[in-house]
Amino acid sequence: MPQAADISSFLGDSRWKDRFDDEILAAANPLVGKVKDLRTEETAPGSVSLFGTVAKDDAEVNLWQAGSGWEFETFCSCDIGSFCHHAAAILTKAAKERDPSRLHGRGVAGAVAAALPSARELMKAPPEDLPRVRLDAAFELRVTREPVDKATRLLLQSLGQPNVDHWIIAEAAVAYGKHRSSLRSSAPDWVSTITHEGQAAILQHDTAAENAAAQQLRDTGLSSLQSNSAWRFLLNLKSREESHSKGPDRWFPDPSRIETDAFWHQFRGEMVERLESLGWTVRVSDNVGHRVHEADPGKWNSSLSAGDGGWFSLSVGFDVGGERYDLLPILAGLLENDFLEETLDRPNNGHIYAPLPDGDALKLPIGRVRKILQHLAALIDPKFPDKARLHALDAASLAGLEGLGIDTPPDLKELADKVRDFSGIDPVPPATGLQATLRDYQLAGFHWMQFLARHGLHGILADDMGLGKTLQTLTHILTEKKSGHSRGLPVLVVAPTSVVPNWRAEALKFTPELRVLVLQGADRKKYFRSIPHADLVLTSFALLQRDIDKLATVPFHLVVLDEAQYIKNPRSKMAQAACKLDSRNRLCLSGTPIENHLGELWSLMNFLVPGFLGSEDAFNKRFRTPIEKDGDQERNAVLKSRVAPLILRRTKDQVAKELPPKTELVHLIELNTGQKDLYETVRATMNKRVREAIAARGVEQSQIVFLDALLKLRQICCHPKLLPEDYEHDVVDSAKLDFLTELLAVLIEEGRRILLFSQFTTMLSLIEAHLVKEKISYLKLTGASKDRGKLVEDFQNGKSPVFLISLKAGGTGLNLTAADTVIHYDPWWNPAAEAQATDRAYRIGQNKPVFVHKLLCQETVEERIHQMQQAKGKLASGILADADISNRLDAETVRALLDS
């Protein structure tokens, strides 16, 4: 039990001054004479508190025995709060009044000695004759910013807090009568104390109330720094070094729940009011910062202004304390923080706290800004420094939102009305001189192109193959010329090499007034000087990358990419060359803008409108990965809505009702015994090799090994003779070729006109040998064929019943409506490629039902590829129609294809 001499010695020892800064001690000296009502109270066995009023601030010093000495902590109602000049003045005053005649007639030491009963007796039971002091239900929370000492720094680091010199803490206190105590999570039911009149009493501790108060603090997101109660801390008699950073319980933000700055903004904006409604008194020191300013949306000054290249700048200005801010860059910073997504999930009556440059925050009603945020979430990209830059479509969309009060240019309002359903597009008549009558859907496609051109927009015409994309585009080009909109600038069309002649032929047929210049052959460079004088310039993708240095210097009115999937890889030379072209308008033609994954769509849009879908990395993070990997329907809907005004997609079922029906027949063929044994031997070997490669290098780096395995298995299914010579075997027959032989005999007898496609030209040669043997007339088109036009004309004129075509050579640019039967000898990954091949026959002009036969070897990789095709087809329709997107090639899929 401490003696009075111990307290006197402590107060007289100047070492207690080490706990105060020199500036604080200097400020305390003139205040010593202003200390009033200096008194003592016992708070627990072996502990005592000094109270006093200094210059209208109430200060408190809590002392407790620590070993052979004394330890202490201070509180004050001033802004400093702890170890302030007021507490130093009280200790200095108490040191001077150690004389027993000077403090309530007994001095500090005497008062302490008189107040402290035997600790042994107190631990047995509280005296029954002492009055009880009960909870006043008064809780106080003081938020301050304090320096971090070494012990606290280590503790904070262990809790995941950042390494800072100062930290913001909240100290909770509870009032028992005139006694002020630190809020503790647990304690005895009673503690001896001294009332403000100097009388001994029992503090009747209310465990339930203090526990409830502590839970209220936790509900705001605060966590307690101290797990043990103050009572247990005192009884354990911690060493001075351990207890230096302890004292009263402190509360701080839980770093696992919310970023610290964002927490204090939300705490000051919402939680203070909540605690006060529960009866708390909350005081926040000025040095804490993180002030929250209420935003009045009615005083926002919102406007859209046109910029370069069809982009707009959105400004949402407001004033805070006489300073002008723009909301968009502030919200852009929030969008880069994952916390925003959680915030947007709150109800409309919630708030979001946008940080200001000075560390304060703007309190914004979620219901008012949610629409802006949802739009910006799809637009803002850290790689684009101008974060308030909006595409015309986005600007129009924002302008059409109610309740935002945006000052919108009249032409943008018109665009906003029209892009909703395109019902307001002006029906511009085709130019005179067009030698064709457009069908209704073709006329609508032409009007759509005109609409894009008038509003500085660029898009993708994604009609099914055979619906006349070339004719619609030629109509648009002719109308642009004759209306004067092209201003004498030429139009450049880039197409696959095999399709360039078709463009020339259709231009001469449908738009003979256009001056056409074809850039092909070794002598093409001598015609470069004629480019500015042409109306229509035709070149191929292969030549584009070779001639880009010249073509990039020519200003074009319009650049058209036919079969635009040729630039689906943004890192390819073709894609990079296309992006270098100088044109006022851009247009992509592709029946399959998405063949395998959404990255292909990004590449096309990057050519059309760089930045519209953000950077490739941002697009992958925001859309591709969530949609393809996780099947995120919400992101899929957002992406679809975003690109919909720039993509016109019509299928034959939608617009070409006069087409006869198309019937698809899948034939599952069982391998013969020799093929089965060979297939299983190669499958097991390649399966092991692929698994080892995936384990060592991952899926992406194992593609070559996997594709090699897949190729060999497909070759066995088609015909074992297709295998490389180093694969020794004695299998000479093919079950699929035998099936095809029988099928052709039946079809030819029925008078069918047949297109027979295969990926392998060597397989076509084997089929050709069979046709020669059977004396069946045929035509053959591969990449080595010279005169494609003559071959097509011969087939259309009925010269031969069978047309052998390699898939790559004949997948595009052919009109073979004389055919009524299509045979796919072997399948491949891309269902769109097969569909394009089928569309050589099933297109406008066809007047007979078309039958499509797919030959698949049963229980082989071919059947599994077909199953994957069905799922892969959803990838394109998920953006262009309403199906979902959930298919992705991964390690599991690779293994599934090669399993037995």
Percent of the chain exceeding pLDDT 70 equals 70
Task: Please give the average per-residue pLDDT across 89-100, as a whole number.
Answer: 75
Nearest in space to 540 (alpha carbons), one of 489, 593, 586, 502: 502
Q: Is residue 288 part of a domain?
A: no
Alpha-carbon distance 199 to 197, whole Å? 6
Structure tokens given for 97: 């009044």
Report which of residues 74 and 530 the model is more confident about.
530
- pLDDT tier for residue 510 given thresholds of 50, 70 and 90: very high
Helix (H, G, I), strand (E, B) or coil at 363: strand
Q: pLDDT class for 105, splitting at 50, 70, 90?
A: very low
Q: How far, rounded to the nearest angstrom, does the alpha carbon of residue 724 sit from its chain's CA centroid?
A: 46
The verdict on residue 667 lying in a domain is no
Q: How far is CA 19 from CA 73, 156, 227, in A?
A: 9, 21, 24
Q: Residue 531's pLDDT is what?
A: 96
Q: What one-letter code names the amino acid at 636?
A: N
**The pLDDT of residue 801:** 95
Task: Check: CB of residue 623 under 8 Å from CB of residue 635.
Answer: yes
Strand partners, 63: 48, 72
483 — pLDDT class (breaks 50, 70, 90):
very high
Q: 280 or 400: whose pLDDT is higher?
A: 280
Estimate the crossing angle of helix 861-880 against helix 831-838, to 10 degrees. Answer: 80
Question: Which CATH number covers residue 518?
Answer: 3.40.50.10810
Binned at pLDDT 50, 70 and 90, residue 555 comes out as very high
The region of weakest confidence among 109-113, 296-300, 482-486 is 109-113
Pairing state between β 582-589 and 292-294: unpaired
Residue range(s) defining the domain that contains residue 564: 440-655
Q: How far apart (Å, rounded) are the C-alpha atoms in residues 860 and 675?
A: 11
Model confidence at 695: pLDDT above 90: no
- Structure letter (DSSP) for residue 356: P
- For residues 721 and 739, membership in a common domain is answered with no
Asked whether residue 142 falls in the same domain as residue 243, the answer is yes
Q: Give the C-alpha separation, 812 to 838, whole Å.
A: 10
Burial class (CB in 10 A: 0-12, 13-18, 19+), 899: exposed
| Range scoring the smallest mean pLDDT among 132-146, 546-560, 735-749, 797-811 | 132-146
- Work out the pLDDT band at 692, boundaries 50, 70, 90: confident
pLDDT of residue 823: 94
718 lies in the same domain as 749? no
When pLDDT is averaged across residues 121-133 and rounded to a whole number, the result is: 54
- Strand (E) or helix (H) holding 585: strand 582-589
Of the three residues 93, 109, 124, the one that is the final residue of a domain is 124
Bridge partner list, 180? 175
**Are residues 693 and 748 located together in one domain of the fold?**
no
Q: Give me the mean pLDDT over the 695-712 stretch.
A: 81
Does residue 506 sit within a domain?
yes
Higher pLDDT: 230 or 29? It is 29
Q: 764 and 634 in one domain?
A: no
CA angle 161, 163, 166 (to 5 degrees): 95
CA distance 42 to 525: 102
Mean pLDDT of 271-282: 90
Statement to judge: residues 405 and 479 lie in one domain: no
Is residue 288 within 8 A of residue 143, CB to CB? The reply is yes
Closest CA to 57 of 90, 97, 103, 16: 90
The gap between the terminal CA atoms of the chain, to the nearest Å, is 84
Across-strand partners of 782?
none
The confidence score (pLDDT) of residue 334 equals 64
Q: How far apart are the C-alpha atoms of 828 and 832, rounded to whole Å?
A: 10
DSSP type of residue 81: -
Do 763 and 856 fall within a single domain? yes
We report the CATH number of the domain holding residue 868 as 3.40.50.300
Q: What percent of the chain has pLDDT over 90?
A: 24
Q: List the structure tokens of 342.
A: 């959680």
The predicted-structure confidence for 233-242, as pLDDT tens digits, reads as follows 222 222 222 2
Q: Give the CA-trace dihedral at 508, 511, 514, 516, to 10 degrees.
A: -30
Q: Is residue 433 part of a domain?
A: no
Q: CA 225: distance to chain centroid?
A: 35
pLDDT over threshold 80, residue 525: yes
Q: Read off the pLDDT of each residue in 170-174 and give the average, rounded to a whole number.
A: 83
Q: How many CB atoms lie within 10 A of CB 82?
A: 19
User: pLDDT at residue 630 above 80?
Assistant: yes
Per the CB < 8 A criterion, the answer to whether 636 and 879 are in contact is: yes
Say whether pLDDT at 886 is over 50.
Answer: no
Give 294-315 pLDDT, tens digit per residue: 766 666 676 766 666 566 776 7
318: in domain? yes
Quote the tokens at residue 659: 């087409």
- The residue with greater pLDDT, 178 or 28, is 28
Q: What is the mean pLDDT of residues 134-160?
A: 71
Structure tokens at 763: 């397989």
Q: Is the pLDDT of residue 418 over 70?
A: no
- Give the SS3 label for residue 204: strand
Inside any domain, residue 804: yes
For residue 187, what pLDDT is reported?
47
Confidence at residue 119, expressed as pLDDT on a 0 to 100 scale = 34
pLDDT tens digits, one per residue of 378-409 = 555 545 445 456 676 776 666 655 545 566 66
- The DSSP bridge pattern shows strands 389-391 and 311-320 to be antiparallel
The total of other beta-carbon atoms located within 10 Å of residue 518's CB is 18
For residue 358, give every residue at least 6 positions away whose Cβ sits within 8 Å of its Cβ, in sequence order, or none: none
Can you tell me the mean pLDDT for 692-719? 84
Mean model confidence pLDDT for the chain: 77
Output the pLDDT for position 171.
83
Which H or E run contains 202?
A: strand 200-204
What is the predicted pLDDT for the residue at 388? 57
How high is the pLDDT of residue 562? 94
User: Any idea how long the chain is?
Assistant: 900
Using only the alpha carbons of the chain, give its radius of gyration: 41
Q: How confident is the model at residue 515 (pLDDT cuts 50, 70, 90)?
A: very high
CB atoms within 10 A of CB 695: 10
DSSP 800: -
Inside any domain, residue 283: no
d(CA 898, CA 17): 79
> Does residue 136 sit in the same domain as residue 92?
no
State yes or no: pLDDT of 192 exceeds 80.
no
Specify whether 118 is located in the same domain as 144. Answer: no
200, β-bridge pairs:
194
Q: Please identify which residue in the block is written with the tokens 């351990």.
A: 242
- Residue 811 confidence (pLDDT): 62
> What mean pLDDT is predicted for residues 709-719?
91
- Residue 742 pLDDT > 70: yes
| pLDDT tops 60 at residue 881 | no
Q: Tell me which of 411 and 828 has the higher pLDDT.
A: 828
Structure tokens at 664: 């698809």
C-beta neighbour count of 884 within 10 angstroms:
15
Examine the domain organization and report whether 132 and 203 are in the same domain. Answer: yes
Same domain flag for 754 and 823:
yes
Which of 27-31, 57-61, 887-891 is the least confident region? 887-891
DSSP 823: E
Confidence of residue 346 (pLDDT cuts 50, 70, 90): low
What does the pLDDT read at residue 532? 95
Query: CA 54: distance to chain centroid?
Result: 57
∠ Cα 703 707 708 (to 5°): 120
Contact 675, 734 (CB under 8 A): yes
Number of folded domains in the chain?
A: 6
712 and 651 together in one domain: no
Q: Which of 93, 124, 155 is the last residue of a domain?
A: 124
Higher pLDDT, 116 or 355: 355
Least confidently predicted of 263-272, 660-669, 870-879: 870-879
Give me the pLDDT at residue 668, please: 85
pLDDT at residue 533 in the model: 94
For 529-684, strand residue ranges (E) read 536-540, 555-562, 582-589, 647-648, 662-669
Q: What residues are paired with 305 via a beta bridge?
A: 313
